Chain A
């Protein structure tokens, strides 16, 4: 499979996966762009693997997990006041949730990256725990622990009404 063939067949899905992971268009674009550039530069090696698509998929996941906080800085409009140096308090977001879906999306966004990645791989990519462990380079038990903590956190954050509805996959 050439790089062009890979891009034609897999890029859209890869971008969606990155978008689900990050919940942010700019971050998703950066993530996939960084990974694709690296993949392009060493494609001759990647295409010799059994599953180039799985290899790049794993690159995206690892890049997401390794993304540093500095890359998540918000873009702040330029003004005289905002240029007054560091230490300014972050601007509060007054928009607020509009419905439960927004609330769920926001709760997902504040999960630690490992937990979020596990949820995405489990409930979006529908991978079995063993495969998730392989992607993340950890034990199956660790995957289940991350999933359990993530669901527990969602349950808490969503409030008592959602508690009976959230059950961990066995």
Chain B
């Protein structure tokens, strides 16, 4: 047998690694349909502008009381929070493509200005919806305002007057902004100035990068981000998040359908700014308790992870600049 025949035979033997066509085709069709929807959504909002904004990843954070933005190092986000124009209850990953980096890097898909005293507290993205919370110290405790951003739907109608920041009788102000429906609600007294400024300055044309101090140590190929929730260090005296953590990150990931993930497929690595051993142990324990939580009957074969960071990371540069 010649050497070249040996090469040919070795190559042919690798055919045995070919996966099952049916599973691949079904998953590809599902993802292809999603890609089509995403493309249609981009077309609706202006494909050129949206794509350019995301790819360029022009990192701009607008601070309260300033007219312009503060630039961040340009970086291509590994994860982009994308918007769906379909049903708000549609289940699916919030990323259009599998994660390509161990570092979970998101995009906050807008900029906004807040009045003095208000800070951004948390972001959450899941199932085509986005939620941000704002916090301000108050006399009777912290004031929380929640902003929900969801796709426009026939049953979602504007309430209140965004020009003046006047909400309806329930303290809710909502309006349509392009393909988005924005809703502001509060845990306490209405701050009309906050409502008015958010409505006036909310800009979906500028995105911000969001990098976590935690990385996924072992990322199975084809993993998508299904949901993400980030709580920032609030930096407000007397305010304690309900869970007692200074900062938190909640991530839910899944393989693309058609692949069975071993429950032990994930591990967590820590960024250079995160050195707290107790925090590491907390994350390890939480992961270990979750490791057996995969339901193979789940068609999406989701794997949920709960990560908590016990302390504010020692490297604040890994977090987005706090607004306030």
Given contacts A33-B256, A78-B263, A86-B270, contact A20 B21 (CB under 8 A): no
Q: Judging by beta carbons under 8 Å apart, are B4 and A169 in contact?
A: yes
Complex Cα–Cα for A27 and B289 (A): 29
Which of B27-35, B120-128, B186-194, B233-241 participates in binding chain A? B27-35
Q: How far is the CB of B9 from chain A (nearest CB, A)?
A: 7
Given contacts A73-B102, A77-B264, contact A29 B19 (CB under 8 A): yes
Q: How far is the CB of B278 from chain A (nearest CB, A)?
A: 14
Contact with A along B81-110 (1 / 0, CB 8 A): 000000000000000011011100000000
Residues of B within 8 A of A76 (CB): 217-218, 267
Counting contact residues on chain A (CB < 8 A from B), the size range is 35 or more
Residues of A within 8 A of B315 (CB): none
Residue B269 lies at the interface, judged by CB distance under 8 Å to chain A? yes
Task: Out of A11, A20, A41, name the residue touching B32 (CB < 8 Å).
Answer: A41
Residue B220 lies at the interface, judged by CB distance under 8 Å to chain A? yes
Residues of A within 8 A of B27 (CB): 33, 37
Given contacts A11-B24, A36-B32, contact A165 B268 (CB under 8 A): no
Contact with A along B207-240 (1 / 0, CB 8 A): 0000000010111111000000000000000000
Other contacts beyond A39-B28, A85-B280, A105-B10: 18, CB < 8 A: A11-B25, A15-B24, A16-B18, A19-B14, A25-B19, A32-B19, A32-B28, A72-B221, A78-B291, A80-B288, A83-B267, A86-B269, A104-B6, A120-B11, A124-B11, A162-B6, A165-B2, A167-B2
Binding site for B on A (CB under 8 A): 7, 11-12, 15-16, 18-20, 22-30, 32-34, 36-41, 68, 70-80, 82-86, 100-101, 104-105, 108, 119-120, 123-124, 151, 154-155, 162, 164-167, 169
28 inter-chain pairs at a CB distance below 8 angstroms, sorted by A residue, are A11-B21, A11-B24, A15-B21, A18-B18, A19-B19, A23-B14, A25-B17, A28-B18, A29-B258, A29-B259, A32-B24, A37-B27, A37-B31, A40-B36, A41-B39, A71-B98, A73-B219, A75-B264, A78-B263, A78-B266, A78-B288, A83-B267, A84-B280, A85-B280, A86-B269, A100-B6, A151-B3, A165-B2
